[in-house]
Amino acid sequence: MKESVVIIGGGIAGLEAASQLLALGLSPVIVEKSDHLGGHVAEWYRLFPDLSPAQDLVTHLVSSASGARIYLETEISRINALKDGYSATLNNGDVLFCKAVLVCTGFHLFDAAKKEEYGYGIYDRVITNRDLEHWFGGLEDARIPDNPRAVGFVHCVGSRDVKAGNTQCSKVCCMTAIKQAIELKEKFPEAEVYCFYMDLRLFGKKYEDFYISAQRDYGIHFIRGRVSEVSEDIDGRLLVKAEDTLSGKPLKVRLDLLVLMAGMVCSPQTGRIASMVRAEVDDDGFLRSRDNIYSIVESGRKGIFFAGACTGTKTVPETVAEARAAALSAFRYIKEKA
């Protein structure tokens, strides 16, 4: 009888962990609350910096995890600790017995409507990074005009903002903004694209080249300063006011589309999941790992492991690497106990 591991969440972390556990000879079970696998990445179009299609990654992960037992549209009601493992009760009545639990619940996108001054949900031409990514993927969106002359990106919406309730940086939005700016320029070469940033966080492999290409090859304008207010002009265009910190003066520009880079915050169910597995919630709202350097995938509680954005903001390669590390840690834990 193969030992079982329950994986909470069927996003890329959960799928990669499942495929590794299968290769190691264990029996993973994925419990996913939505109706599809692949989590947030399944909704995206292309991944930086190579601009490889997100669907390829998700399809590959789903097929390599196909040997696992998968529950969709199911949530976990209760987890009880047993003498040598855990029992997880699902909301459809099934009870799963396992040796270890792997939490891969991921993140939640900040609700951009909370920043009232940007007018999300109030003005017709204001959208978020997720809306834009869906549109690139082929979904219709009436808010995006057919031939925009000017487009703006606002960095740090809901991140690094004590008033929005999240002081942390969401890590991936600067690169995502540059990626989406380039993709928009490819679709509308005549449009002027402005990125309003506070700082540019471009820390990874080939990220700086991506930025240089955005500036030099695509002519995207980067303006350092916060957007203060968005309003609507008589012809429906957005009037955006920002502070141009480098010249020390206020600046205004009329745009046809404004994209808000909504940040990553912890999912609202984190508290519930944390109490079920008796894990701690850190003061940034995400789950707390045993430490932040060597044991990120461990929770400090026996048999409970973490992978992916549930412990903090992560990029896709980091999530996949953590999923593999968590699978290996779970495997070693189970073998040592036996």
Partner 1 sequence: MIYQGKQKIWSDYQKEIPDNHWFYVRSCIRQSFFPASEGHFVKIVRDLLGKDLYETPHHTTCGGIAYHSDTIPQETAMTIVARQFSLMKEAGYKNLVTSCITSFGNYTEILETWREFPELETRIREHLWKACRREFDKPEYVAHASDVVYKLRNEIAEKAKFRLVNHETGEPLRIVEHIGCHYSKMFPHKGVGGAEYPCVLSGMVESWGGKVIDYPERRHCCGFGFRQYLVKANRGYSVSNTHKKFESMEPFHPDLIITNCPGCPYFLDRWQYVISEQTGKTYGQNGHGIPALTYEELAGLVLGYDPWDLGLQIHQVGPEPLLDKMGIAYDPARKYLGLDEKDIMKPGLPTVLKCC
Partner 2 sequence: MDFGFSLSPSSAIDLDKVDLSLYRRLEQTVPDIRSCIACGSCSATCMAADYSGMSVRKLILNLQRGADVKKMLSCCMLCGKCTMVCPRGINTRKLILDVCRYYSDNKL
Size of the site for partner 2 (CB under 8 A): 18
Pick out residues in 240-269 that bind partner 2 (CB under 8 A): 241, 244, 246-247, 249-254
Q: Decide: is 236 part of the binding site for partner 2 (CB under 8 A).
A: no
Which amino acid appears at position 236 of this protein?
Answer: G
Size of the site for partner 1 (CB under 8 A): 15
- Structural contact between residues 26 and 334, judged by C-beta atoms closer than 8 angstroms: yes
The pattern of x and - marking residues 225 through 254 that bind partner 1 according to CB under 8 A reads: ----x-xxxx----x---------------
Euclidean distance between CA atoms 32 and 71, whole angstroms = 6
Which helix (H) or strand (E) is 178 found in, with range? helix 173-187
Tell the residue number behind the tokens 């790992």, with chain if given.
Answer: 289
Quickly count: other Cβ atoms within 10 Å of residue 115's Cβ.
20
- Residue 243 interacts with, from partner 1, partner 2, none (CB under 5-8 Å by kind): none
The single residue among 216, 234, 268, 283 that binds partner 2, judged by CB under 8 A, is 216
- Residue 253 interacts with, from partner 2, partner 1, none (CB under 5-8 Å by kind): partner 2
Q: Decide: is 186 part of the binding site for partner 1 (CB under 8 A).
A: no
Euclidean distance between CA atoms 96 and 88, whole angstroms = 5
The single residue among 116, 186, 199, 291 that binds partner 1, judged by CB under 8 A, is 116
- Residue 121 interacts with, from partner 2, partner 1, none (CB under 5-8 Å by kind): partner 1
Euclidean distance between CA atoms 276 and 290, whole angstroms = 17
Euclidean distance between CA atoms 242 and 154, whole angstroms = 10
Nearer to partner 1, 121 or 317 (CB): 121
Euclidean distance between CA atoms 243 and 276, whole angstroms = 46
119: phi then psi, degrees, rounded to nearest 5: 75, 25
Query: Where does this chain touch partner 1 (CB under 8 A) — which range of 70-78, 120-128, 204-212, 319-327?
Result: 120-128
| Chain residues that interact with partner 2, rule: CB under 8 A | 194, 212, 215-216, 219, 221-222, 224, 241, 244, 246-247, 249-254
